[in-house]
């Protein structure tokens, strides 16, 4: 595997700084889940199902707030959009350690609504800073950076929670969340290119944002989040069953090591897989953890489970930014956050309930199995939609009445997409629609290229 694509990427202006800022700013998010779980199971004395409901409450808040915060970034700019998050998050996490369970549920919803949108802002900025032919590598690197944050942050959270107190750990989450917001406001990464003014909307009709192709990719995001959150809860439960709670951090770090390796390999390749195919692989790779009987076996299993993780997430993000106009990327990144939180809201309590009834190994089976079934079902539905669209185009002479399937990019009909720039007509580097996005228009012909060159 050659790392040359990553070296070329990091030489682009602003990319290296953005990667480093993202790494630091994501730390509070990476430690929140495990700290909340330890707080509910420990000092509050409740089970994993209850802990899963707190995580679900926070994800419900994120699902509500993400599109709204994305639109604010699009319309107001980053600094003005982040200020309410910094103020509200500081208050919520200051009082959270002192709340009972019911009040903590409400606080988790508020924290989710105003969560600092680090992930969406970074991905939106990468779409501005990086030209189309390097964006898949950029999002692979972004996912790898996220995994590295998850290697360190949960370890820090567990260390503070077990060696000091969960109150101190929750306070640390709040302080670092505010610091992340301030860091982003200081750096103020670009979320729109210099020529990225909003395109005028057709008279009498507001263009759809959530088209069928986008919904397919958002479904992949939900399935991935279900698997990942369920696996997270399963790791905590397994190690607590062995009376080794302090090992949670390094076990999650091993999980992230697998993801880093898989993400780097995927980002250096010239072809990409459909996000749903990668999510199906992620679910299948998680299932062996259900068979682990010792810590060593679990360590090997979580490394395997992590291999498709960063690849799946990067494929989802790279697909989304290619499917919407620049002036609405903040909003679609918000909807991506909503899709993630819907999957997490389903995964955490589902897996928590299975763990309470059958033990940690049932949790791994539930997480991997449910995600695998959802992804495979999505691929089957996608194949049926493609077949129906092709038949409709053929019967209508290539122009369906509703216009949603016209001018579909040929590469969108396959599960893999060629990325070799030498295949581009007239020397133009293509920015292909993600595989399976059947409502994404084809690239224009070379004589129109001057109107569609990526501003990055």
Distance CA 164, CA 169 (A): 8
Within 13 A of 437's CA, how many CA atoms are on the CB side?
31
15, burial (CB in 10 Å: exposed 0-12, middle 13-18, buried 19+): buried
Displacement of CA 370 from its chain's centroid (Å): 18
Q: What is the pLDDT along the chain (456 residues), one digit of tens a residue?
A: 677 888 888 999 889 988 888 888 888 888 888 888 888 988 888 887 788 788 778 877 877 887 777 778 878 888 888 888 888 988 888 898 888 999 999 999 998 888 888 888 888 888 888 888 888 888 888 888 887 887 788 778 888 988 888 899 998 988 888 888 888 888 888 877 765 544 444 444 555 556 667 777 888 888 888 888 888 888 888 888 887 877 887 888 788 888 888 888 888 877 777 888 899 999 999 999 989 888 899 999 999 999 998 888 888 877 777 777 767 777 777 777 677 767 776 777 788 888 888 888 888 999 899 888 888 888 887 788 778 878 887 887 654 444 443 333 333 333 433 343 333 333 333 333 333 333 333 333 333 333 233 333
Contacts of 102 (CB under 8 A, 6+ apart): none
* Residue 363 Ramachandran class (φ > 0 left, ψ -120 to 50 alpha, else beta): alpha
Contacts of 109 (CB under 8 A, 6+ apart): 57, 58, 60, 61, 64
Query: Of 26, 403, 362, 380, which Cα lies nearest the Cα of 181?
Result: 26
Query: Of 18, 129, 106, which Cα lies nearest the Cα of 57?
Result: 106
What string of DSSP letters covers 90-127? HHHHHHGGG--HHHHHHHHHHHHHT---HHHHHHHHHH
Which residue stretches of 4-117 are H helix? 4-10, 15-25, 27-41, 48-76, 78-95, 101-113
448-449-451-455 Cα dihedral, nearest 10 degrees: 170
């Amino acid at each position: 595997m050659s790392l040359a694509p990553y070296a070329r990427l990091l030489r682009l202006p602003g990319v290296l700084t953005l990667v480093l800022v993202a790494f630091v700013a994501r730390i509070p998010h990476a430690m929140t889940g495990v700290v909340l779980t330890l707080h509910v199971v420990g000092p509050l004395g409740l089970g994993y199902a209850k802990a899963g409901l707190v995580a679900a409450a926070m994800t419900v808040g994120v699902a509500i707030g993400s599109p709204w915060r994305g639109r604010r970034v699009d319309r107001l700019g980053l600094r003005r959009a982040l200020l309410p998050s910094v103020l509200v998050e500081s208050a919520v996490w200051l009082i959270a350690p002192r709340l009972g369970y019911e009040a903590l549920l409400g606080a988790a919803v508020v924290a989710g609504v105003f969560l600092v949108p680090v992930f969406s802002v970074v991905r939106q900025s990468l779409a501005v800073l990086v030209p189309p032919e390097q964006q898949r590598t950029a999002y692979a690197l972004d996912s790898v950076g996220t995994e590295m944050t998850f290697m360190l942050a949960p370890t820090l959270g567990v260390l503070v929670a077990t060696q000091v107190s969960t109150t101190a750990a929750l306070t640390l989450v709040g302080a670092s969340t505010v610091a992340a917001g301030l860091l982003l406001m200081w750096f103020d990464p670009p979320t729109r290119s210099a020529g990225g003014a909003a395109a005028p909307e057709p008279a009498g009709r507001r263009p759809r944002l959530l088209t069928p192709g986008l919904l397919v990719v958002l479904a992949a995001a939900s399935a991935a989040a279900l698997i990942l959150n369920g696996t997270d809860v399963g790791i905590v439960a397994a190690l607590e069953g062995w009376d080794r709670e302090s090992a949670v951090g390094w076990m999650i770090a091993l999980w992230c090591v697998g993801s880093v390796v898989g993400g780097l390999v995927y980002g250096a390749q010239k072809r990409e897989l459909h996000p749903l195919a990668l999510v199906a692989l992620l679910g299948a790779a998680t299932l062996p953890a259900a068979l682990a009987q010792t810590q060593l076996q679990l360590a090997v299993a979580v490394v395997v489970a992590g291999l498709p993780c960063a690849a799946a997430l990067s494929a989802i993000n790279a697909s989304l930014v290619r499917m919407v106009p620049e002036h609405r990327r903040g909003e679609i990144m918000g909807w991506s956050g909503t899709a993630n939180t819907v999957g997490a809201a389903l995964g955490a309590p589902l897996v928590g309930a299975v763990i309470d009834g059958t033990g940690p190994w049932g949790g791994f089976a539930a997480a991997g199995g449910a995600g695998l079934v959802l992804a495979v079902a999505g691929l089957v539905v996608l194949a049926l939609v493609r077949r129906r669209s092709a038949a409709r185009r053929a019967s209508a002479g290539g122009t369906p009445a509703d216009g949603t399937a016209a001018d579909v990019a040929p590469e969108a009909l396959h599960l893999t997409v060629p990325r070799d720039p030498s295949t581009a007509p007239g020397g133009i580097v293509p920015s292909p629609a993600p595989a399976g996005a059947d409502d994404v228009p084809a690239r224009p012909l070379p004589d129109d290229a001057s109107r569609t060159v990526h501003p990055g």
